[in-house]
Amino acid sequence: MTQTMPLLIAPSLLSADFARLGEEVAAIEQAGADWLHLDVMDGHFVPNISFGPAVIAALRPHTKLPFDVHLMIEPVDPYLEAFAKAGADHITVHAEAGPHLHRSLQAIRALGVKAGVSLCPATPPEMLSQVLDMVDLILVMSVNPGFGGQKFLSSQTHKIRTLRQMINDSGYPIKLAVDGGIDAETAPQAVAAGADVLIAGSAVYGKTDRAAAIRALRTAGAAS
């Protein structure tokens, strides 16, 4: 499939140097990123703990990039307001976290934030058929959530394709993001299947020249 939508690159802060987060955020804007992806992990929904709203609020003055906050936490509803106040532009929740996805999406939009929903590798795309009118972003996990640096699961390309079709059929302007194991080798598969946002941790923050890493992803995506 030829990419006709603008391809957005969202580096994941999870692979940044946590001792220098303010500088790492500013540097990625300079390097040409479109969004900053912030992975929030609770040690319960996923087997890792990252950071919470206080860190996000502290980083907000360091960049004008949209903050794409991915909540891998359960429960999620009690924390939505805190992440909106911290400066999130998008809040993505997991369909598997529950208890009521519809209610969570309503709450995110009521806070004036764009609403996203993410699917783990084992979750079928049809789970989203009843909420397409309520989402601005769908995030397909192409690894099991919890850690950076894992291998891209090619099995997820079929799901990306199905979701692209569902989005096009719906007529809603929903972004389709892919997250996990994205690099210049795997980006073409994700984009060819219909992704228009590439989230990448180690392939950007893991490199010394982040601008070159972002360009490499754009070039790879455009070549799909």
Annotated binding site for substrate: 12, 70, 146-149, 179-181, 201-202
Q: Are 59 and 25 in contact (CB under 8 A)?
A: yes
Which one of 8-16, 21-29, 106-114, 207-215 is the stretch in contact with ligand 5SP (CB under 6 A)?
A: 8-16
CA distances from 101 to 57, 151, 155, 212 (A): 25, 28, 25, 38
Tell me whether residue 39 is one of the annotated catalytic residues.
yes
Which 26-85 residues touch ligand 5SP, going by CB under 6 A? 37, 39, 70
User: How many degrees, rounded to 5, is the angle at CA 118 between CA 200 and CA 84?
Assistant: 85
The C-alpha atoms of residue 165 and residue 126 are separated, in whole angstroms, by: 11
| Binder among 7, 14, 135, 140 for ligand 5SP (CB under 6 A) | 14
Number of Cβ atoms within 10 Å of the Cβ of 98: 14
Contacts of 49 (CB under 8 A, 6+ apart): 41, 42, 43
Applying CB under 6 A, does 221 fall inside the site for ligand 5SP?
A: no
Q: Which is nearer to ligand 5SP, 53 or 180 (CB)?
A: 180
Q: Which of 34, 68, 179, 183 is catalytic?
A: 179
Q: Which is nearer to ligand 5SP, 2 or 182 (CB)?
A: 182
| Binder among 94, 201, 210, 221 for ligand 5SP (CB under 6 A) | 201
